[in-house]
Structure 1
Amino acid sequence: MSDSSPTPATGPEAQRGPKPAELEPRDVVIVGGGLAGGLLALALLRRAPAIRFTLVEAGKTLGGNHRWSWFATDLAEACADLLGEFPLARWDAGYDIAFPGYGRTLGTSYRSLASEDFHKHLAAAIPAENLLLGKRVAGLDAGGVTLADGTRIAARRVVDCRTFRPSDKLAGGWQVFLGQHIRCHEPHGLTRPVIMDATVDQLAPHGNGAAYRFVYVLPLSEDEVFVEDTYYADHPRMDRDLLASRTRAYARTKGWRGEVIGSETGILPVISGGDFEGVIEDLAIPGVAIAGSRGGFSHPLTSYTLPFAASNAVEIAALLADHPDTTGEDLARFCEDRARHHWRETSFYRMLSRMLFEAADPGRRVNVFKHFYGLSGELVERFYAGQSTWPDRLRILSGKPPVAIGRAMRAMVSRGKPFRMEKTA
């Protein structure tokens, strides 16, 4: 049906309430309905229900096409409560890792959330008049948001939760992955996730040069399994057909035969250094707060974003609930200060990223992770949560080095390899 048709609309757009042009000024407009924006909207509903907000997403659904996973120990109680509202896959019997000549089960509980469930829960929880789907944004400023169709949404505060934007002022590499959700003809027999199976060929072609490679496996039900081929590489390129065939081949080696009922892909930054102040300057829009991966809130080595997105959502909602007079400029400074703090606190992980990309030969990068997973389970938990203690850091760097000492020392003081930004998939 065209926009000019006089027949009243009856589809999803009609059910979303008034057209954007009829919206009243809002207390908060959140731009981007991915993980960071969606969690912030939910946190505002729960912690500051009096705040009138609008969540604007360019896509037709919230969250895109992703699966987010995390360890139960990654989240503080308030963040765990927020995520606990969603229908999660849960494994409390630990997880497995496997390397050439070495395997281990660690006892930490693991969680996973599919974007389909993320969307369904938020679409039901967020009032229809607070949610705009399929609406592209043309501009953001301290006074509100302008949509691509010219509609203006005035707001006291604007939060930019759009996706990560590569910058030539950052250094590092990329984590490239393709996962397939397989419904098996027979029960697969897995009871725990396999977070990292690095027994696969490390020098297999990637269409991207040699890189550290592993397979990630989640048993989603008795006969459904999610299998993901993942690798770290210098270039953000992906050969989808190659990765899909490798994923299916891995499943066949395990005896898991069935049909593929879903898939996802991703190319995520692995940040090893850079001029963060320069990045902030490039991204800054006066009076607009930046959250999520665009604001630098990710784990530099694992590329995990969920713990930081949840923490930001909880903290922003608490600020606005406890201090309702917070201005847009105040909120922008609050988020920028958090981003700078996060950058400082994650410097150790950026150094490890440099060791991975600069000190280890591609075919031997597996040794870096094998060394790490031989350490205590508590240390591994703190590492993934981005909370490694100084004793943890010394322990990670001690013992027989998995890379040449000279190259490791040079990597430690390096500024990192500039991002190769010809991102294709």
Structure 2
Amino acid sequence: MTDGQDLRHNTITADVALAGGGLANGLIAWRLAQARPDLSILIVEAGETLGGNHTWSFHETDVTPGQHDWLEPFIVHRWDSQLVSFPKRRRRLETGYRSITSERFDDVLRGVPNIKVISGTPVDWLSADAIGLADERRIESALVIDGRGYAPSPHLQLGWQKFLGQHVRLEQPHGLDAPVIMDADIPQEGGYRFIYLLPFSDTEVLIEDTYYADDDALDTDALRQRIASYAQARNWQIAEVIREEDGILPITLGGDIEAYWADYLKAPPAGLRAALFHPVTGYSLPDAVRVADLIASRPSLASKDVGEALRTYAIETWRSQRFYRLLNRMLFWAARPTERYKVLQRFYGLPPGLIERFYAGQNTLADKIRLLAGKPPVPIHRALPCLAGRHPDGISPPIERA
């Protein structure tokens, strides 16, 4: 075990150094600390707190029971079912739903003896065995992982899921007994749009306005107004906005994963930076959990060995998700923006097991056939080019090299 600082040379040493204190790196640190309490683990985060300002949610079936057990200390909210609402469909799904807050995330990780945190300090550069900080300190480690979030790349073709959420306290109880994963029975503006609701108590609820769009611009003022209008339509009087969060998540339409990974030869990436997220939802927690388990089980924690394992996992995952990228092209290219909700409205009429496997990114061949069976919820003349990997308007098709 190494854990020290050479004050003469302003150098810090650690067995594992993680650039970025978001979800992926935080879970890697947690699993390594459990599996190898002899290791010194260092997380470097540009912000003041680990995890930033986020709420991460997942279906209970997104992870295995064993993974759920080790995630348990991070979980703040638990529900036994979830709801969806569309113009022509209402449904309750008896699938458990869980949420992690960045506040709990930060508290848990800072309480682990062999995890050290340097916060409020950006990374200036990194390599396979060192990290240079903006304050000119240097960190040396046999394993360096870059988990600083998604970085733009010419090798991925993307759409975007954008959102702004407000954790509010209402004057009166909201009446919800479960999360509303999608309320798409609202005006469709600029693309597929829905409201996401997490009831934290009888009077506290997270109201999140979410929409899928072709660009990554986020108009936060417009989303605040839309949240206020939604609350008013439900006769909810907002007494206080406790907290606000926003985000822009990448949604993959196509790409060249080999070329993408070739850009990360210096230090292995993780999380969104490794293109490890659900292609349709943009959520990264299931992959972050699997990657944390993968790294914790490695016999060697050298950057080269871990990097090769992560690269193999990422490329195999990408190949297995080709079908989901096809669905995204149907959603973004084949459906008219104001009618994209019909794709999801149809989806939520399918069997619960298929829906659970979809969110876990583990659909079977039979599931995929079922998803494409019957009359498509988009114009057929626009759906067929998408199936063949071409844009229906003649725009260059996505790169699908693997």
Corresponding residue number in structure 2 for 1:241: 221
Corresponding residue number in structure 2 for 1:280: 261
Which shifted more, 61-70 or 400-409? 400-409
Tell me the alpha carbon deviations over residues 165-197 of structure 1, each in whole angstroms, 9 at most, x when there is no partner.
121221121001111111111221110110000
Corresponding residue number in structure 1 for 2:365: 390
**1:171/1:418 contact within 8 Å kept:** no
Deviation at 1:415?
Answer: 5.9
Q: Secondary structure at the match of 2:69?
A: helix
Q: Secondary structure at the match of 1:125?
A: coil
Write the letter of the residue equivalent to 1:356: L
Please say if 1:150 is aligned against 2:136: yes
**1:274/1:415 contact within 8 Å kept:** no
- Structure 1 unaligned segments of length 5 or more: list them: 1-16, 205-209, 420-425
C-alpha distance in 2, partners of 1:376/1:163?
34
Corresponding residue number in structure 1 for 2:292: 313
Corresponding residue number in structure 1 for 2:78: 90
* 1:49-60 pair list within 5 angstroms: 49-60=37-48
* Residue among 79, 91, 96 paired with 1:109: 96
Q: Secondary structure at the match of 2:265?
A: coil
**1:158/1:328 contact within 8 Å kept:** yes
* Residue among 247, 259, 265 paired with 2:246: 265
Please say if 1:347 is aligned against 2:322: yes
Please say if 1:253 is aligned against 2:233: yes
Which shifted more, 364-373 or 130-139? 130-139
C-alpha distance in 1, partners of 2:45/2:388?
41
Corresponding residue number in structure 2 for 1:291: 270
* 1:59-98 pair list within 5 angstroms: 59-92=47-80, 94-98=81-85
**2:162/2:218 contact within 8 Å kept:** yes
* 1:111-260 pair list within 5 angstroms: 111-127=98-114, 130-202=116-188, 204=189, 210-257=190-237, 258-260=239-241
Distance 1:390 1:250, change over 3 A: same
Write the letter of the residue equivalent to 1:76: T
Deviation at 1:406?
Answer: 2.4
- Percentage of matched positions with identical amino acids: 44
C-alpha distance in 2, partners of 1:326/1:274?
29
Write the letter of the residue equivalent to 1:113: I
Write the letter of the residue equivalent to 2:224: A
C-alpha distance in 1, partners of 2:53/2:343?
30
Deviation at 1:19?
Answer: 9.1
C-alpha distance in 1, partners of 2:387/2:78?
37
Deviation at 1:255?
Answer: 2.1
- Structure 2 unaligned segments of length 5 or more: list them: 398-402
Distance 1:418 1:326, change over 3 A: farther
Which shifted more, 130-139 or 224-233? 130-139
Write the letter of the residue equivalent to 1:301: V
Which shifted more, 146-155 or 373-382? 146-155
Write the letter of the residue equivalent to 1:370: Q
Deviation at 1:250?
Answer: 0.8
CA RMSD of aligned residues (A): 1.9
**1:169/1:418 contact within 8 Å kept:** no
Write the letter of the residue equivalent to 2:319: R
Tell me the alpha carbon deviations over residues 291-311 of structure 1, each in whole angstroms, 9 at most, x when there is no partner.
111101100111110111111
Deviation at 1:239?
Answer: 1.1
C-alpha distance in 1, partners of 2:233/2:314?
44
Deviation at 1:373?
Answer: 0.4
C-alpha distance in 1, partners of 2:97/2:88?
25
Q: Normalised by the size of structure 2, how large is the TM-score? A: 0.93
C-alpha distance in 2, partners of 1:415/1:305?
27
Tell me the alpha carbon deviations over residues 333-382 of structure 1, each in whole angstroms, 9 at most, x when there is no partner.
11111110111111111110011111111111111001100001110000
Q: Normalised by the size of structure 1, how large is the TM-score? A: 0.88
**2:12/2:137 contact within 8 Å kept:** no
Deviation at 1:276?
Answer: 1.5
**1:90/1:110 contact within 8 Å kept:** yes
Corresponding residue number in structure 2 for 1:12: none
Write the letter of the residue equivalent to 2:380: I
**1:172/1:354 contact within 8 Å kept:** no
Deviation at 1:318?
Answer: 1.6
User: How many residues are aligned here?
Assistant: 389
**1:170/1:418 contact within 8 Å kept:** no
Q: Secondary structure at the match of 2:201?
A: coil
Write the letter of the residue equivalent to 1:268: L
C-alpha distance in 1, partners of 2:245/2:396?
27
Distance 1:328 1:408, change over 3 A: same
Tell me the alpha carbon deviations over residues 21-52 of structure 1, each in whole angstroms, 9 at most, x when there is no partner.
66652211111100001111111111111122
C-alpha distance in 2, partners of 1:104/1:32?
39
**2:180/2:197 contact within 8 Å kept:** yes
Q: Secondary structure at the match of 2:73?
A: coil
Distance 1:166 1:179, change over 3 A: same
Tell me the alpha carbon deviations over residues 51-87 of structure 1, each in whole angstroms, 9 at most, x when there is no partner.
2221111111000111111000001233212211124
Distance 1:176 1:281, change over 3 A: same
